[in-house]
Structure 1
Amino acid sequence: MQTPAPDGSGHPRRWWILGVLSLALFTTVLNNGLLNVAVPGLVRDLGIDLGRTQWIVDAYALTFAALLLTAGALSDRYGRKRATLLGAALFGGASLLAPAADGPAQLVAARAAMGLGAAFMMPGTLSILNQVFPARERPRAIAVWGSVSALGVAVGPVLGGLLVSHFWWGSVFLVNLAPVLVTLLAGAVLLPESAAPVPRPADPVGALLGAGAMAALVYGVIQASGHGWTARPVVAALALAAGAAAAFVAWERRHPSPVVDFELLRDRNFLGASAGNMLLFLGIAGTLFVLTQRLQLEFGYSALRAGAAVVPLALAVGVGSAFAPAVARRGGPRGGVAGGLALAAGGILCLGQASGSYPPVLLGCVLIGVGGGLALTPATDTVIGLVPAERSGSAAALNDTLQELGNALGVAVVGTALARGYADGTAALPEEAGRSLGGAVEYAGRQGPEAGSAVVAVAEHAFAGAAATALGVAAAVVAAGAVLSWVLLPGAAGRGTAGRRRRVPSVAADD
């Protein structure tokens, strides 16, 4: 099995390898931006409410998060290149199935299959990057990797808007096929294969308990959008999530080779970086879910114009990522992560104050993007520098699991705030008009001009108020991440490259 070059020199083809790894990441990021713009079309064509829309968006992130730990362990065991290419193939196959869905259940299943593919792709990208780059070049490589992720965020809404404007919502899935094909062909030639010298035993019980806890948590939060937080299904789901989480911790503490390395979870640096990442992704995912709908339904933008309107956010991530290594050198991980999160929280608050005018939207997008870019690079560098290279797949998977859990919870929590606020504001309207703003407009079109305009006015006012509240929730979450990162991460005196930071010893027997 091919091994990377020693840490001092790096792999001779490391920058070409970075290109393949970045493209794999681009593929996993691209479709969320595509789908967010297509949400109003999905609501209209499939006749669904906001709760089912949340499931279509969240099926991907939830499956992604639930299986990442298992996928990371399997990639350590059987090979990271093999896992990355298998994941790309699964992702591409599911992208072919999604446009054929004729109902929400089939589309949710296809999105879950895409999440399965992404779960195998993602851990390999960071662990291979960690191995082929020397410590002195790794922050720069991670900044490039993060900038390409931002490019996926930028291209997704615009390309999605273009496709939805000229074709139908299913076209946003077919566009995944081109980057998947390039990833498979280039990856087969360029990626080095690597695996743990002594693979860890499997932990299927731990994997199932962890996945069950996350699924029950997200299910309960989404169900609250239609039933309220005190409804019996919601309380039961949240209780099941708590029980599964407790069983997961108890099982993992006794297992000789747990799927979660508790030494990492006891490390302040890992907790500060990963919690900051998770809450950042939670806030941004929820914000984009609300913003792309708000631009189309409240501001009256077309799908293409709405996609173009959020491009500055993604471009600003690239700017923030470019400056992140310099900021982290001066302020340490604390300054980069906490400062970036605080900037992003301020940007989300700006979006909440926008009312039919684009300049506040532009300012908010730029602040969110720059803040996210400043935070992501030092947080990721901190995480992957804490473990030996042979355990990098599992460490990357744990970090990515928390990020994707943040994505899933972002759509669930912020989307639920939007749905509950809209439902409360339209309680006096007929049920059809209370499902979504688009449904209210269609209902009003069948009424007389006077009655129809009154329905639309109530629905628009309810949606605007609910969107502002939901974005306030997202801003509060990201601000909480800034506080946690400031408390837990070291400042300039404790900074250092990944190679100089204290590595966390593994609790697994193979290490």
Structure 2
Amino acid sequence: MRSTYDEDVHTSGLAGPPDPRRWAVLAVLSLALFVIILNNGLLNVALPSMMHDLDIGIGTAQWIVDGYSLVFAACLLTAGTLSDRYGRKRATLLGVVLFGVGTLLALAADGAAQLVVARAVMGVAASLVMPGTLSILVDVFPEHERPRALAVWGSASALGVAVGPVFGGALVGHFWWGSVFLVNLLPVAVVLAAGLLLLPESAAPVPRPLDPVGAVLGSAVMVALVFGAIHASGDGWTSAAVLGAFGGALVCATCFVAWERRHPSPMVDFALLRRPAFLGASAGIMLLFSGLAGTLFTLTQFLQFGLAYGPLKAGLALAPIAVAVGAGSSLAPWLARRTGPRGGVATGLAAAAAGALTLAAADGYPGVLPGLALLGVGVGLALGPATDTQLSMVAPERSGNAAALSDTMMELGNAVGVAVVGTVLAHGTVGAAAPGTGVEAAATAGFVTAGVIVAAGAVLAGLLLPGPARPAADAETGKPVVRTPRTGKEAPVRSA
């Protein structure tokens, strides 16, 4: 049976000339992504102050972080399907409004439970925004410009990573930890106003039916998986609660696969996952963000508890990663053209893994700086080519759902990374007299775990992703042609 993703029309979502406003549209989309990434950067720096003021441990702090990522990942596939059906602009702007509402709830929170709820609301909002940014980008940019657009889109995440800790540190240093959420409000207002004027509306020409059963089962898999990983830090990996959560995840995953295979319009087409290139790109993204999230979760605490940095100094110490991600993103299209997705993604993942392992050997900031540089360059090199590989294999009318699948892997990686590396960190501080005691010694194991996770992604990318396209002569014209990754059809080689 032919895959619903395996369409012949894969060259571009453009029916005519490119939108002349596409670079302004990209600026709005990048700012929307910036708001989402900024949120976690702000919160990470505030965690030690929050843990002290609310008298909570690492396990509760993990829930405050993962309350966002978990709900985000759980809702992404449904949000992508809704955006394809009802309009990507509508979904994106609705998400921006809801993100503002969640921010206001977080500002009013005075306890851990309220923060988890506020972060969950923001996660639902982000699930509407993030697939929209990618699917609209695919719709307005022709294929030959898309790698550059994706590099800009990826650089926006770098800016969020850098500015978040700096702003968060400054606010926590002068006000209270809840003030970090204030920074979200201005970008939200700008994206909403500019988006209403600039973003084009697009939707699938033939709306696909919803799949509520698939949505519930898919969400249950991720909830059970991360729940088990988080509780392993306190209860142990072999406790009844943890094994029950992992068992529930396995049962729900089995039911999800069985249901989706029989559904006439599945949320996930598993024929796509049988393609090595898509599987390699998806696994690379998930493992990259798993290692990145775990590294940053550990590093913010290492800087403040281990090196006795204040919140602002810790934020500034993390800022160089943004420059590194920007540098990696700018080099990514050049590297991918010459080495193919395999070279670009595998090189980026290997550099990021080396960065995490470099951090494991650091005993002061001079050792942290090269680790941050390697980690950032690696993220910049890998993210754009991996995302482009995923999106290039689906029809334009499924771009929202495809973007949601890509984002699901990213956010699942974030949630599991914080859970797994946080568990390692928590085990290393068992018996500590007070929150934060022993983090400096335990951080080494956390960084090594993150590095191993990303290194596994580098191996998979090297094995599964295609190398550079090799021109072959057309039998009739003698002109060089290449086989496109989307359709397998031959196309003329563009001259430089």
Question: TM-score, length-normalised on structure 2?
Answer: 0.92
CA distance in 2, matches of 1:131, 1:41: 43
Query: Kindly tell me: are residues 255 and 318 of structure 1, through their superposed partners in 2, closer, same or farther at Cα, counting changes over 3 Å?
Result: same
Indicate conservation of the 8 Å contact 2:13/2:396, yes or no.
Answer: no
Deviation at 1:264, TM superposition (A): 1.8
CA distance in 2, matches of 1:17, 1:260: 28
SS of equivalent to 1:234: helix
CA distance in 2, matches of 1:164, 1:267: 47
* Number of the residue aligned with 2:280: 272
Does 2:33 match 1:33? no
CA distance in 2, matches of 1:482, 1:158: 30
* Number of the residue aligned with 2:454: 478
1:122-165 deviations in Å (ceiling 9; x for gaps): 11111110010111111011111111111111100000000100
CA distance in 1, matches of 2:53, 2:155: 34
Does 2:477 match 1:501? no
1:422 pairs with one of 419, 426, 429: 429
* Number of the residue aligned with 1:443: none
Query: Kindly tell me: are residues 495 and 211 of structure 1, through their superposed partners in 2, closer, same or farther at Cα, counting changes over 3 Å?
Result: farther
* Number of the residue aligned with 1:225: 233
One-letter amino acid of the structure 2 residue matched with residue 502 of structure 1: R
CA distance in 2, matches of 1:501, 1:190: 31
CA distance in 2, matches of 1:498, 1:479: 31
CA distance in 1, matches of 2:159, 2:278: 26
* Number of the residue aligned with 1:508: none
How do 1:107-126 and structure 2 match up within 5 A?
107-126=115-134
How do 1:120-135 and structure 2 match up within 5 A?
120-135=128-143
CA distance in 2, matches of 1:52, 1:217: 17
Deviation at 1:495, TM superposition (A): 9.9
Indicate conservation of the 8 Å contact 1:5/1:11, yes or no.
Answer: no
1:311 pairs with one of 298, 306, 319: 319
* Number of the residue aligned with 1:389: 396
Does 2:110 match 1:93? no
Question: TM-score, length-normalised on structure 1?
Answer: 0.90
Unmatched 5+ stretches in structure 1: 438-458, 505-511
2:361 pairs with one of 330, 353, 358: 353
Deviation at 1:498, TM superposition (A): 12
How do 1:286-325 and structure 2 match up within 5 A?
286-325=294-333
CA distance in 1, matches of 2:157, 2:267: 27
One-letter amino acid of the structure 2 residue matched with residue 467 of structure 1: A
Query: Kindly tell me: are residues 287 and 194 of structure 1, through their superposed partners in 2, closer, same or farther at Cα, counting changes over 3 Å?
Result: same
1:296-345 deviations in Å (ceiling 9; x for gaps): 00001110010111111121000000010001111110000001100100
Query: Kindly tell me: are residues 222 and 182 of structure 1, through their superposed partners in 2, closer, same or farther at Cα, counting changes over 3 Å?
Result: same
1:410-464 deviations in Å (ceiling 9; x for gaps): 11010111001211xx2xx6xxx25x22xxxxxxxxxxxxxxxxxxxxx43xx22
Deviation at 1:103, TM superposition (A): 1.3
* Number of the residue aligned with 1:154: 162
CA distance in 1, matches of 2:235, 2:270: 36
CA distance in 1, matches of 2:487, 2:101: 39
Deviation at 1:502, TM superposition (A): 2.1
CA distance in 2, matches of 1:472, 1:491: 29
Does 2:366 match 1:373? no
Does 2:193 match 1:185? yes
CA distance in 2, matches of 1:109, 1:339: 39
Percent identity, please. 63
Indicate conservation of the 8 Å contact 1:384/1:498, yes or no.
Answer: no
How do 1:203-282 and structure 2 match up within 5 A?
203-282=211-290
Deviation at 1:494, TM superposition (A): 6.2
SS of equivalent to 1:474: helix
Deviation at 1:503, TM superposition (A): 4.0
Indicate conservation of the 8 Å contact 1:382/1:498, yes or no.
Answer: no
* Number of the residue aligned with 1:403: 410
CA distance in 2, matches of 1:81, 1:266: 31
CA distance in 2, matches of 1:494, 1:287: 38
Query: Kindly tell me: are residues 498 and 283 of structure 1, through their superposed partners in 2, closer, same or farther at Cα, counting changes over 3 Å?
Result: farther
Indicate conservation of the 8 Å contact 1:7/1:135, yes or no.
Answer: no
SS of equivalent to 1:111: helix
Unmatched 5+ stretches in structure 2: 1-11, 473-480, 489-496
Deviation at 1:263, TM superposition (A): 2.5
Count of aligned positions: 470
Query: Kindly tell me: are residues 276 and 312 of structure 1, through their superposed partners in 2, closer, same or farther at Cα, counting changes over 3 Å?
Result: same
CA distance in 2, matches of 1:6, 1:221: 43
SS of equivalent to 2:486: coil
Does 2:22 match 1:14? yes
Does 2:454 match 1:490? no
Tell me the C-alpha RMSD between the 2 structures: 1.8
Query: Kindly tell me: are residues 495 and 140 of structure 1, through their superposed partners in 2, closer, same or farther at Cα, counting changes over 3 Å?
Result: farther
SS of equivalent to 2:409: helix
One-letter amino acid of the structure 1 residue matched with residue 198 of structure 2: L
CA distance in 2, matches of 1:498, 1:146: 27
Deviation at 1:493, TM superposition (A): 3.3
One-letter amino acid of the structure 1 residue matched with residue 14 of structure 2: P
* Number of the residue aligned with 1:23: 31
Indicate conservation of the 8 Å contact 2:45/2:165, yes or no.
Answer: yes
* Number of the residue aligned with 2:441: 465
